[in-house]
Structure 1
Amino acid sequence: MVRRYAVGGLAAAVAAATFVSPADAAPMDPIPGNGFFLVGPDISPGLYQTAGSASTFGVWINDVPTLDSMCAWFAYSTPDANKDHVVATNMSIGPMFANINAEVMAFESRNCQPWTRVP
């Protein structure tokens, strides 16, 4: 798209970058392994699966993986990251599922491999 603007009496052609508004963007699939996402504009409701932790190696202390070695996710009943509004959560080094259902308004993922929607 080219827009023309008058600059000092001269017409200048300015190539405008294509901008996709959040309302026009398609929800993500897969969902990145790190981030905070709103259900609707960012991601679609559904059942998602991850292969687990994105850490290249795990650190274990007394046979328990450290928090930095694990994948963690949180589902919120409000569109913010207020931990008082967590309706579901889990953490693991291995594969996991997350059910982003009708009561979930936001989803947060930390140190996970990408989340793919289960058909």
Structure 2
Amino acid sequence: MARALRALAIFVASVTAIAMAPPAAAAMDPIPGNGVFVVGPDIAPGLYHTDGSASVVGVWINNVPTQDSMCAWFTYGTPDANKEHVLQTNISIGPMYANINTSVKAFESQNCQPWTRVP
């Protein structure tokens, strides 16, 4: 009988611990336009879209936008966003897509409008 009571107590304690555990953090959607985000805890894999640069004033020299006027994104093969492990990158003033697939460990966005997941 004592063995059955002890097993029941362990079961009740386990269920209570599970019920009281904090909920998992939801992945960001939309993704802010600036920052480094780890795939999994911060953002979910998928196809994302931005309307482009977040700059209110574009600066052009010889009909070419300056880097500060453009939106840039990078995907990385490591969660620490090491520049030696860039998988893909793009830069533009206009709308763009970024495919954050399962091989991507981190995503970096610079000077972009928010990124929304494409269904």
Same fold by TM-score, threshold 0.5 exceeded? yes
Paired position in structure 1 for 2:117: 117
Shift >6 Å, 4+ stretches: none
Question: Are residues 102 and 58 of structure 1, via their aligned partners in 2, closer, same or farther at CA, if it must alter by over 3 Å?
Answer: same
Given that 1:23 and 1:41 are in contact with CA atoms closer than 8 Å, whether structure 2 keeps it comes out as: no
Mapped to 1, the partners of 2:58 and 2:22 lie a distance apart of 36
Give unpaired runs (5+ residues) of structure 2. 1-20
Query: Partner amino acid for 1:87?
Result: L
Q: Specify every segment of 5 or more residues in structure 1 that has no aligned partner in the other structure, as ranges.
A: 1-20
SS at match of 2:112: coil
Report the secondary structure of 1:56's partner residue: coil
User: Counterpart in 2 of 1:38?
Assistant: 38
Q: In structure 1, how many angstroms separate the alpha carbons of the residues matched to 2:27 and 2:83?
A: 24
The equivalent residue for 1:9 is none
State how many pairs are aligned.
99
1:1-119 equivalent positions in 2, closer than 5 A: 24-119=24-119
Tell me which structure has the larger Cα radius of gyration. Answer: 2
Match of 2:62, as an amino acid? N
How well do the aligned residues superpose, as a CA RMSD in angstroms? Answer: 1.6
Percent of matched pairs sharing the same residue: 76
CA 1:98–1:22: 2 relative to 1, 3 Å: farther
Question: Quick check: which one's helix share is greater?
Answer: 2
Give 1:86 deviation, angstroms: 0.3
1:82 to partner: Cα distance: 1.1
Aligned-pair CA distance for 1:22: 9.5
Separation in 2, partners of 1:86, 1:35: 15
Normalized per residue, which structure has more strand? 1
Query: How much has 1:26 moved relative to structure 2?
Result: 0.3
